[in-house]
Amino acid sequence: MGLFGACAFSASFSWAQSANPVMLSSDIGENIKMEKIIYSEDMFPARTPSGMSKIRSSNDAEVFSSGERYFPVMLVSTSDYKALDSAFMYRMFNEKGFKDNNNYGSVHDYFVESSGGQFKPTFDIYPITLSKNFSSYKSDSEFILPAIDVLVERSDFKARASKYEKEIPFIILHPLSRDKAISYCSDFFNHQYKLQYSAKQVYSKNGYKFNSYAFVSQKAEGKESSTSTKDVNMLGTFVHEFSHVIGLQDTYSNDSRGYATIGPLPYDVMALGLRNGSGGYPPTFSAFEREAVGWLKPTEIANADSVYELKNLSGMQAYAVSNPNKPDEYFLIEYRPAVGFDSKIGSSSYSGKQGKNGVMIWYIDYDYSAFFSNDPNGDESHQRVEVRTVLSKNQESFAKFDFANKNGKAKIDGIFNLVFDGIDRVCFTVSKSKTLDKCPEKVIASSSSVPQSSSSSIQSSSSKEPPKSSSSVTPRYSSSSNSVGLVAVAVAPAMQIQVSRGMLNADVPMSGKKTLRFYDALGNNLGSHMFEGMSATIDVSGWNGPIFVRLDVNGSLMLAKRVQLR
């Protein structure tokens, strides 16, 4: 038995293109010609029982989604089908600036770009030969377990094993195309899963443990017998399936007739974006996904009088507009120009919605059960992850921050007076009455006067740089009533100063000496704290009312905020 039963189910749940396209309406404001889509993986029920956690209150990214990490990739041949060249596959997975077969970069490049350099994976390619014909294997686990048996006896694996996780996540590449493989066995669609479920055990031998895996075809459709590297599977498929391994879920779905629902389509590698640029330009992680795996913390928009600067998403910045009655329902605002992996969003290679670059307004309605079952967009009438609009011209606006749950009402009316400043940044207001015709040299809100003197010190509970793992990620929201009012916009996009349960958390992803200074509403100095790491946590539970926080880095003002305490 495999994921969903024995291989008597030789037919797959895939869709061929239909001769009768249907017209769907979209909140993006145009009719969309949709045809039945062939996905890179089939629309089965839950692929991974791990799910994602509640994004706003905790982080369930795998601990190996940050830093320099190493992952074994088994490049499998069977007695009747040969694998692709291992040197080529190593390049496709690891080479910086990989351009063969019209790819923008390698798998490694994709994750470095999506994480802003916080995650640098290396994929070790191990050629493995299984002795039986491909048709002899009746489930994915029956194929995987003997491959691992071969792997753990290899001297090159043993020499590198110390670089891997204690329980090793891995990729296994079978030597066929997706369609040919599932004609043998319904388990052999491209997917991510865990051996503890598919094999009823975590693999353990010679002191090595294996569990979470991505099972992916090496070759493009119709190229089963080919060993030409031009017939390799899409880069987007490898990226998509490995993204499951580090904690993401699918955001594509289909309606009852087998037609793709709108969702985020070409904007998301976890949807149909994996096909952008014929699969060689999968779009980088959205702000939602970067938050989910612990790489980015969007800033809540709070001050209607401000001019806001939004940097290119590669600068790891995004804004949030949240439902005050349900924090897991919110909009995300991110800026994606047509550069790098994102440059083919407007020219996707499937039949359906063509995207465009610009300021994307995402709607997120996070529900644990929907994500746990790997089907957040299964309800055609209520997509939980979708792009509501894309603003691509100066002075465009968006004013539909409407929430579905608990009669929530956004604190701002909309995004107005949008101004593009090259590919590096855009600026906007959240007030119709505030004019803006170009990005200011410095973006500072109208009520940003903060005293600059300092005299006393405050004891910090921690000022060391935390490890970049799920256990060290400070939640953006808490169940307390504390709120943060924006007084000045950070120069560095990922800077954050927030209060939760009497503790002030400062995240400053910059090198240098940092000084936090604190003032009451009358400008009286309350104290200061200096640190050199990337974060600090200060106990402010003894203070009441609003305080002003000023952050200097190497002596220069970088951020000022008004923080409302209890």
Choose from 314-323, 480-489, 491-500 the range with maximum mean pLDDT. 314-323
C-alpha R_g of the chain: 25
What is the sign, positive or negative, of the torsion defined by CA atoms of 525, 526, 532, 534? negative
Q: In this structure, are 186 and 230 located in the same domain?
A: yes
Per-residue pLDDT tens over the stretch 121-174 = 999 999 999 999 999 999 999 999 999 999 999 999 999 999 999 999 999 999
pLDDT at position 40 = 52
- pLDDT(309) > 60: yes
Residue among 164, 504, 117, 451 nearest 284 (CA): 117
Tell me the pLDDT tens digit for each residue of 175-223: 999 999 999 998 899 999 999 999 999 999 999 999 999 999 999 999 9
Least trusted range by pLDDT, from 86-90, 174-178, 295-299, 440-444: 440-444
DSSP line for 62-119: -TTSSEEEEEEEEEEE-SSSPPPPHHHHHHHHH-TT--GGG-SS-HHHHHHHHTTTSE
Domain identity same for 68 and 217: yes
Determine the Cα–Cα distance for residues 19 and 51; give it in Å rounded to an integer.
Answer: 36
Mean local confidence (pLDDT), 406-427 = 93
> Looking at the domain assignment, is residue 155 inside a domain?
yes
Burial of 162 from C-beta contacts in 10 A (0-12 / 13-18 / 19+): exposed
**Residue 321 tokens, joined:** 């507009």
pLDDT digits (tens, 9 = 90+) for 223-272: 988 999 999 999 999 999 999 999 899 998 877 777 777 789 899 999 98
One domain for residues 449 and 564: yes
State whether 391 and 470 are in the same domain: no
**Geometric angle at alpha carbon 421, from 419 and 424, rounded to 5°:** 125
Task: Encode pLDDT of 474-490 as tens digits.
Answer: 222 222 222 233 333 33
| Domains held by the chain: number | 3
Of the three residues 215, 247, 279, the one that is the final residue of a domain is: 247
Residue 543 has pLDDT above 90, yes or no: no
Query: Do 103 and 172 have their domain in common?
Result: yes
What CATH number does residue 535 fall under? 2.60.40.3080
Determine phi and psi for 193, rounding to 5 degrees: -160, -170
User: How confident is the model over 381-396, as a mean pLDDT?
Assistant: 94
Residues 116 and 226 in one domain: yes
Q: Which domain holds residue 479?
A: 444-566
In whole angstroms, give the CA distance from residue 90 to residue 93: 5
